[in-house]
Amino acid sequence: MSDAAIERGPAGSGGGPGGRSGPRRTLQQVVWRLLPLTPFALVLLAWVAYWVIARPSAATLPAVQDVAAALWELAVKGELAIHVLASLWRLFLGVALGVATGVIGGFIVGLNKPIAQFLSPLIVFFNAISGIVWLPLVIGWLGIGTALAVFLIWNTVFFIVFQNTVLGVQLVPQVYEQGVQALGGGRWQTLSSVILPGALPYILTGLRSGLGFGWRALIAAELVGATTGLGQMIFGATEYHRSDIIIGGCLLIGLIAIAMDRWLLLPIEQRTIERWGLVFDARKAE
């Protein structure tokens, strides 16, 4: 899914339309800011309405307050923290490994045309089976638990970061390199002052995508092969028909995904890419 925002409102940070001054514009800016909340509000409304009208069983669709209560209960018992932390820890490990291997591998391949051409079909194929498809095989090697989850996350993140890095390295305009060479720069200077910063926008895109995909792969992995973690929490709740826990868990999963993207990655992007004014093709490697 493209990361391009559909519309940035003009006049200030995400402000609404128009160039009218004064309180009218401020009101429009506020409305613009609040708009993204409307679908959530609508869903919430529909949920409550359905519950009041159709009175489904707790197993099918619990009341909104039940979900909140279930989450609260888990939080208070400390179980929620355990699950969240377990998941985040695995994510961190998997992403760190994936990014490290992806960037290093991406540089090696991106700078070396014969190797790139040779490996290309393999990359395409393994990309097609990345993530959960490895589960049945790897579960025999690593059992259930953190190792399995980290492997699956690594697998997912690696390919994304790798492909983006290769693309980034290849797309650094040759003239930048030549400019540095004409200043007397050797291989190392070219690598550190041209290729690395030049490929950075793509690497960061890969990191951002990778984090999102890694999180999703983690949940899938935990559904089947873990004893703790958010994925396991919601899958375990299936047995007891605890829909309230499931829904609460899913919402939490979504929230964490957004939080990570917004507060972790966006600042990094802003400090580098946007500061340098680098704009690139939005059709990046997925």
Cβ count near 180 (within 10 Å): 18
HEC sequence for 125-162: HHHHCCCHHHHHHHHHHHCCCHHHHHHHHHHHHHHHHH
Could you tell me which stretch among 64-72, 82-90, 97-105, 227-235 binds other proteins (CB under 8 A)?
Answer: 227-235
Could you tell me which stretch among 3-11, 65-73, 79-87, 97-105 binds other proteins (CB under 8 A)?
Answer: 3-11
Smallest distance from other proteins to CB 16, Å: 9
Compose the 37-66 pattern: x for residues touching other proteins by CB under 8 A, - for all others: xxxx------------------xx------
Q: Residue 116: which residues within 8 A CB-CB, separation 6 or more?
A: 109, 110, 166, 170
Q: Are 207 and 285 in contact (CB under 8 A)?
A: no
Could you tell me which stretch among 69-77, 84-92, 96-104, 208-216 binds other proteins (CB under 8 A)?
Answer: 208-216
Give 3-state DSSP helix, strand, coil % of the chain, rounded to 5. 80, 0, 20
Q: How far apart are CA 211 and CA 286, in angstroms?
A: 12
Q: Which of residues 166-195 bind other proteins (CB under 8 A)?
A: 166-167, 170-171, 173-176, 178-185, 189, 193-194
If binding is defined by CB under 8 A, does position 67 make contact with other proteins?
Answer: no
Could you tell me which stretch among 67-75, 93-101, 244-252, 263-271 binds other proteins (CB under 8 A)?
Answer: 244-252
Q: How far apart are CA 28 and CA 112, in angstroms?
A: 52
How far are the Cα atoms of 81, 82, 197, 222 from residue 78, in angstroms, in the given order?
Answer: 5, 7, 43, 19
For other proteins, give the closer residue by CB, 146 or 243: 243
Compose the 86-125 pattern: x for residues touching other proteins by CB under 8 A, - for all others: -----------------------xxxxx--xxxxxxxxxx
Smallest distance from other proteins to CB 271, Å: 11
If binding is defined by CB under 8 A, does position 148 make contact with other proteins?
Answer: no
If binding is defined by CB under 8 A, does position 19 make contact with other proteins?
Answer: no
If binding is defined by CB under 8 A, does position 15 make contact with other proteins?
Answer: no
Q: What angle do CA 251, 41, 34 make, to 5 degrees?
A: 105
For other proteins, give the closer residue by CB, 150 or 247: 247
Smallest distance from other proteins to CB 73, Å: 18
Q: Are 172 and 195 in contact (CB under 8 A)?
A: yes
Q: List the one residue from 21, 52, 137, 187 that touches other proteins (CB under 8 A).
A: 137
